[in-house]
Amino acid sequence: MFTKILIANRGEIACRVIRTARKLGVHTVAVYSDADARSLHVEMADEAVHIGPSPVGESYLRGDRIVAAALATGAQAIHPGYGFLSENPDFVDHVVTAGLIFIGPSAASIRAMGLKDAAKRLMEKAGVPVVPGYHGEAQEIVLLASKAREIGYPVLIKARAGGGGKGMRRVEHPDDFSEALSSARREAKAAFGDDRVLVEKYVDKPRHIEVQVFGDNFGDAVHLYERDCSAQRRHQKVIEEAPAPGMTPALRKAMTEAAVKAAKAINYSGAGTIEFIVDASQGLKADRFWFMEMNTRLQVEHPVTEMVTGTDLVEWQLRVASGEKLPKTQSEIALSGHAFEARIYAEDAAKGFLPATGTLHHLKFPGVAPEGAAMRIETGVRAGDAISPYYDPMIAKLVVHAGDRQAALEALRTALAQTEIAGSTVNTAFLAALAADPDFAAGDVDTGLIGRHQEALTAVAPPTGEIISAAVLAASGAGALPSSDDPWSSLAGYAHFHGVARRMRLKFGDEQIQAKVSMRPDGRFQVVLDAPYDSTNSHDLRAVPRLARWPAHITVFEGAVGYAFTVPDPLARSDEAAAASGSLRAPMPGLVKLVRVAKGDAVIKGQILLILEAMKMEHTIAAPHDGVIAEIAGEGAQVTDGTVLVRFVEEQSASNSATS
pLDDT given at position 500: 60
* DSSP annotation of 331: G
Q: CA-CA distance, 113 to 181, in Å (whole number)? A: 23
Half-sphere exposure of 113 (CA within 13 A, CB side): 29
d(CA 3, CA 46): 12
**pLDDT tens per residue, range 496-508:** 545 567 788 899 9
Q: Which residue has the higher pLDDT, 575 or 455?
A: 455
Encode 507-544 in three state secondary structure.
Answer: EECCEEEEEEEEECCCCCEEEEECCCCCCEEHHHCCCC
pLDDT at residue 492, rounded to an integer: 42
**Radius of gyration over every alpha carbon of the chain, rounded to an integer in angstroms:** 27
| For residue 524, pLDDT beyond 90 | no
> What pLDDT is attached to residue 501?
72
Distances from the Cα of 388 to the Cα of 36, 37, 288, 467, 642, angstroms: 10, 13, 42, 30, 15
Q: How many CB atoms lie within 10 A of CB 632?
A: 23
Cα–Cα distance between 570 and 552 in angstroms, integer? 11
Which residue would you say has higher pLDDT here, 570 or 609? 609
Is 16 one of the annotated active-site residues of the chain? no
By the 8 A CB rule, do 453 and 433 touch? no
- When pLDDT is averaged across residues 436-458 and rounded to a whole number, the result is 96
Q: Judging by beta carbons within 10 Å of its beta carbon (0-12, 13-18, 19+), is residue 553 exposed, middle or buried?
A: middle
Residue among 16, 160, 169, 297 flagged as catalytic: 297
Whether 657 has a pLDDT exceeding 90, the answer reads no
Distances (CA, A) of 10 to 15, 29, 60, 118, 641: 8, 11, 8, 30, 24
Calculate mean pLDDT across residues 100-107.
Answer: 98
- CA-nearest of 477, 491, 482, 475 to 524 is 491
For residue 499, what pLDDT is reported?
A: 52
Residue 641, phi-psi category: left (phi > 0), alpha (psi -120 to 50), beta (remainder): beta
Residues 474/481, Cβ–Cβ less than 8 Å: yes
Neighbours of 650 (CB within 10 A): 15
Structure confidence at residue 654 (pLDDT): 46
The more confident residue out of 658 and 185 is 185
List CB contacts of 38: < 8 A, sequence separation 6 or more: 385
502, 517 in Cβ contact below 8 A?
yes
Q: Is 324 exposed, middle or buried (0-12, 13-18, 19+ CB in 10 A)?
A: middle
Rounded to an integer, the average pLDDT of 623-652 is 86
How far apart CA 604 and CA 609 sit, in angstroms, is 10
Average pLDDT taken over every residue of the chain: 89
Mean pLDDT of 303-324: 98
Write the pLDDT tens digit of every residue in 534-547: 655 554 454 557 99
Question: Mean pLDDT lowest for which of 9-18, 319-328, 526-535?
Answer: 526-535
How many CB atoms lie under 10 A from the CB of residue 564? 18
* Residue 515 burial class via C-beta count within 10 angstroms: exposed 0-12, middle 13-18, buried 19 and up: buried
With left for phi above 0 and alpha for psi between -120 and 50, is residue 255 left, alpha or beta? alpha
Q: How far is CA 622 from the centre of its chain?
A: 24
What global pTM score does this model have?
Answer: 0.81
Beta strands in 92-148 (DSSP E): 101-102, 133-134
Q: pLDDT > 90: what percent of the chain?
A: 68
- Rounded mean pLDDT of 188-215? 92
Estimate the share of the chain in helix, then strand, then coil, as percent rounded to the nearest 5: 30, 30, 40
The pLDDT tens digits for 325-379 are 999 999 999 999 999 999 999 999 999 898 998 899 999 999 999 999 999 999 9
